[in-house]
């Protein structure tokens, strides 16, 4: 059995960027990608628009249809990598086929968190997650077949609210149930969350916070009612579980590869096993701000992980500098940006600047530590987002212009002259 020079497990943005890096250096050696999904490529952040009927499956792709052919990639679709044998340097697929590798990248992403719910079974009709295209296609088919008019979404984080956005676009009225005291608790603060909650309510959504689903009732194999921990009951024929995502560690179970919350990687995206790398939502790499290993399950991080992994797999030793949490999404017609540490717990170590115009739904928050920006929230005012992101990346001391950070006209011209020239071309790249 011939060895595959570069074997990549998973086919999202980390894999694509890994391929690009490899082919920038190595034009000839074999690259094989294994994916447990049937579509050759699609962007998960766009699934809410597919649910809402605003785009088609063909338009979900984030690379051209000939990408894999142009980069000489052998693409194995709809096959799951079932077992990894690091001593033999082999991966077994779910059809028992063995793939021998020289270097292997694990970029299998995450899996939905399904909280314990009394009466829950996977075969109950009308219960869905919201992570993969296959599941969302099933969801759309069910909505059309059952003529769904109302729904329940468990989880008020980014995934849950994007599912809500898709439902609303279909004319469905959702009820959001969130265990925390507000929606988007891990991303926004109370002021920002309150703006989103108010807009959700205006759009016909119901928001229940500080509560969760304790049990469900079915009728003829279909979900019919949910019971909340608070004692409330809701009738529903559709439940979307969007309580979060955890790294997919299934492939590395039983191997010597070290894991914590995710697969632990060093600064070169390598695991503790020679020849095995990890990238994307399954990997636990360096956090730029905390300088500790963390899982940051967002698109820009996965893309950078893949690029750095590809370079190192080719022998081009390149260190990952670390990124920070960043989200740029439109939620219920409100453009939102968040960077870094938006809700610092140790308040004495941080300085917080805020500007709230509730009438216009405009909110700015800047979090500082030692006169350096470490966190940003922007709602309905995302025009200068790239500049704030650059301030975090470059760790610029803002003491001399701190009083201008919240101004509407804040921008590059405010920065010290020595920073402007070489930074203008980079502003906004991560947003």
The residue among 118, 134, 123 whose CA lies nearest residue 77 is 134
Residue 336 CA, chain-centre distance (Å), reads: 15
Confidence of residue 221 (pLDDT cuts 50, 70, 90): very high
| More confident site: 412 or 250 | 250
What pLDDT, on a 0 to 100 scale, did the predictor assign at position 73? 97
SS3 per residue for 274-297: CCEEECHHHEEEEECCCCCEECCC
Nearest-angstrom CA–CA distance, 431 and 428: 5
Confidence of residue 416 (pLDDT cuts 50, 70, 90): low
Contacts of residue 265, defined as CB under 8 A and 6 or more positions apart, other chains included, come to 271, 277, 278, 279, 283, 284, 285, 293
Domain annotation for the chain: domains and CATH numbers: 3-111+246-313 (3.50.50.60), 127-243 (3.50.50.60), 333-423 (3.30.390.30)
Interior CA angle at 263 toward 258 and 267, to 5°?
Answer: 95
Query: At residue 310, does pLDDT exceed 80?
Result: yes
Mean pLDDT for all residues in the chain: 93
Q: What is the pLDDT of residues 125-141, one digit of tens each?
A: 999 999 999 999 999 99
pLDDT, average across residues 242-256: 97
What pLDDT, on a 0 to 100 scale, did the predictor assign at position 349? 87
The residue among 94, 125, 330 whose CA lies nearest residue 223 is 125
In 103-257, alpha helices (H): 133-146, 158-169, 190-202
Nearest-angstrom CA–CA distance, 302 and 322: 11
Question: pLDDT over 90 for what percent of the chain?
Answer: 84
Report residue 241: phi and psi, to 5°: -90, 110
- Cβ atoms within 10 Å, residue 8: 31
Helix (H) and strand (E) counts in the chain: 9, 25
Q: What is the pTM of this model?
A: 0.92
Q: Are 79 and 89 in contact (CB under 8 A)?
A: no
Two tokens, residue 95: 């059809």
| More confident site: 328 or 285 | 285
Instruction: Beginning with the edge strand found earlier in the chain, give each strand of the sheet holding 326-331 in spatial order.
Output: 326-331, 334-340, 372-379, 362-369, 351-357
């Amino acid at each position: 059995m011939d060895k595959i020079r570069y074997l990549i497990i998973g086919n999202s943005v980390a894999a694509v960027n890994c391929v690009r890096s490899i082919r920038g250096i190595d034009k000839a050696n074999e690259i094989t990608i294994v994916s447990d999904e049937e579509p050759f490529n699609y962007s998960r952040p766009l699934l809410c628009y597919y649910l809402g009927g605003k785009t088609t499956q063909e338009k979900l792709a984030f690379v051209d249809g000939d990408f894999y052919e142009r980069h000489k990639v052998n693409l194995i679709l709809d096959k799951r990598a079932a077992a990894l044998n690091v001593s033999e340097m082999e991966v077994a697929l779910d059809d028992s086929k063995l793939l021998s590798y020289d270097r292997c990248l694990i970029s299998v992403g995450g899996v939905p968190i399904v909280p314990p719910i009394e009466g829950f079974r996977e075969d109950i009709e009308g219960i869905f997650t919201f992570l993969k295209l296959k599941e969302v296609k099933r969801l759309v088919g069910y909505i059309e077949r059952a003529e769904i008019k109302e729904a329940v979404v468990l989880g008020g984080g980014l995934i849950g609210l994007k599912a809500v956005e898709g439902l609303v676009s279909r004319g469905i009225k959702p009820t959001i149930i969130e265990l925390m005291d507000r929606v988007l608790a891990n991303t926004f603060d109370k002021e920002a969350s309150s703006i989103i909650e108010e807009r959700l309510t205006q759009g016909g959504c119901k928001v229940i916070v500080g509560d969760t689903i304790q049990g469900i009732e079915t009728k003829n194999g279909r979900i019919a009612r949910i019971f909340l921990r608070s004692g409330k009951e809701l009738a529903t024929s559709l439940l979307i579980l969007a309580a979060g995502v955890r790294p997919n560690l299934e492939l590395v179970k039983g191997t010597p590869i070290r894991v914590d919350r995710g697969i632990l990687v060093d600064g070169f995206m390598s695991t503790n096993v020679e020849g095995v790398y990890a990238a994307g939502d399954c990997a636990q790499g360096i956090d730029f701000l905390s300088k500790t290993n963390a899982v940051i399950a967002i698109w820009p991080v996965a893309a950078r992980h893949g690029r750095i992994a590809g370079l190192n797999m080719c022998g081009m030793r390149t260190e990952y500098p670390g990124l920070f949490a960043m989200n740029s999404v439109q939620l219920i017609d409100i453009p939102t940006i968040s960077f870094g540490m938006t809700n610092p717990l140790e308040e004495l170590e941080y300085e917080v600047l805020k500007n709230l115009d509730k009438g216009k739904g405009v909110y700015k928050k800047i979090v500082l530590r030692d006169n350096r920006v470490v966190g940003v929230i922007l709602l309905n005012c995302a025009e200068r987002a790239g500049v704030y992101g650059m301030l975090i990346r470059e760790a610029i001391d803002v003491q001399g212009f701190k009083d201008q950070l919240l101004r509407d006209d804040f921008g590059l011209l405010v920065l010290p002259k020595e920073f402007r020239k070489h930074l203008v071309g980079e502003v906004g790249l991560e947003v």
